[in-house]
Structure 1
């Protein structure tokens, strides 16, 4: 049997207003990581919902960080909605989930994941940090990521 190294992996769920520049997204991501006690670390991936799939600032932020951006389908977001920590009427109206960024982070990270804190919001950007222990490649093969 081959041993698998276990370590905490970070997934950042992101929501933003249309047209938000990558610099604002990256600044809020840094602040969210700092508040979570993860300053100086980088998420393994950025996650968002389908309504933000083509958001230029979000795509550019993932490219700047040289990490994948995954788009989580509505069903997968709804499946983890009960595990979110924040309830936003705006998020419910636009994405059908209490918190798009929290649900995206949880869905992308998988079942063992947990949010380290409620979402962080500033300057039109919301960011949630989920942490998971285990093989970090597990999310790239997960069926809910499309």
Structure 2
């Protein structure tokens, strides 16, 4: 997640600096940029450049600033509102699909604030279908149906899920098992369903949830074992709450194609691994990757795990876990746009 923090007062700016320092240590936060004052000028830019905006200002200023920019719960960024004293963190826009509710909980814990969340499914301790999709990195084909399914969940109706029996959906079963008191679901199997889809049905209404491609980029010192790589992978996906069965692909640079540890990890997990050509890595550019002069001097590329993951996840993909080191192993995770 790329976050912009914008403040109005000097006190708010000091709070934003404290918050940035804390967020920079979080591997799930790709970058955090600070902006101060010039709210009218800044918001129209920030709204389309960041996944989330944290506004440290009065709610009236925030609401008037974003009102002309709001388009859809599918595309709008997460918006949080924090007062100058850091007493309250308020989820203001895109609570579910945009991730504002989860981010609000995170931010509140970092600055010892009270989180304020008002979405109906959350206050009634029910699991929204859009929350499930967000948590499991699934796209939704017909977002207009979200309201119907969430209303049905609030009313306690049973939702029917249809999945392909030949696909490993452990990630879905574990997730639902952890939320058994929040949603009533029946699981049905059909070989007619695509293996990367989950069909949701009730009373003639239907949603198709489709897996976005989750790609783990790997880097390591020469000779690192499968166990070393596996330990790093487990730590990273734990931070993202991703079940290992949800990973679609492993990857690295072609200079690592003979690393036994990587090949063994692919076999151990039964997840395919691909190696990206050096020419592609040399040409790849992104403001989000961490550039290493050491790697550049040795291999002619600025990085391994982050650019490899972004390339293999496809055009317009994004990082959801920045390069993080674990005892000689580096992990980065990217996700496809759709």
Q: TM-score, normalised by structure 1?
A: 0.80
Cα offset for 1:22?
0.4
Deviations along 1:68-102, one digit per CA (max 9) or x if unpaired, are: 11010012212323344212222222332222100
1:132 equivalent in structure 2: 336
For 1:44 and 1:66, the matched residues in 2 are separated by 10
Deviations along 1:91-131, one digit per CA (max 9) or x if unpaired, are: 22233222210011011111121011321111110111001
1:80 aligns with 2:315: no
Check 1:120–1:58 CA distance in 2 against 1; reply closer, same or farther (3 A cut): same
2:243 equivalent in structure 1: 40
Match of 2:311 among 103, 107, 123: 107
Larger relative strand fraction: 2
Deviations along 1:2-36, one digit per CA (max 9) or x if unpaired, are: x995322210010111110000101101111122x
2:320 equivalent in structure 1: 116
For 2:337 and 2:229, the matched residues in 1 are separated by 25
Query: Does the 8 Å contact 1:30/1:39 carry over to 2?
Result: no
Deviation larger for 53-62 or 108-117: 108-117
Deviations along 1:39-64, one digit per CA (max 9) or x if unpaired, are: 32342111111110000001000111
Kindly name which structure, 1 or 2, has the bigger radius of gyration based on alpha carbons: 2
In the alignment, structure 1 segments of 5+ residues that lack a partner are 135-146
1:97 equivalent in structure 2: 301
Count of residue correspondences: 131
Cα offset for 1:65?
0.7
Query: Does the 8 Å contact 2:289/2:307 carry over to 1?
Result: no
Deviation larger for 9-18 or 110-119: 110-119
Deviation larger for 53-62 or 24-33: 24-33
In the alignment, structure 2 segments of 5+ residues that lack a partner are 1-193, 198-209
For 1:52 and 1:97, the matched residues in 2 are separated by 13
For 1:125 and 1:70, the matched residues in 2 are separated by 17
Higher relative contact order (CA 8 A, sep 6+): 1
For 1:94 and 1:50, the matched residues in 2 are separated by 14
Query: Does the 8 Å contact 1:47/1:69 carry over to 2?
Result: yes
1:137 equivalent in structure 2: none
Kindly report the root-mean-square deviation, in angstroms, between the aligned alpha carbons of the 2 structures: 2.0
Query: Does the 8 Å contact 1:14/1:48 carry over to 2?
Result: yes
1:67 aligns with 2:267: no
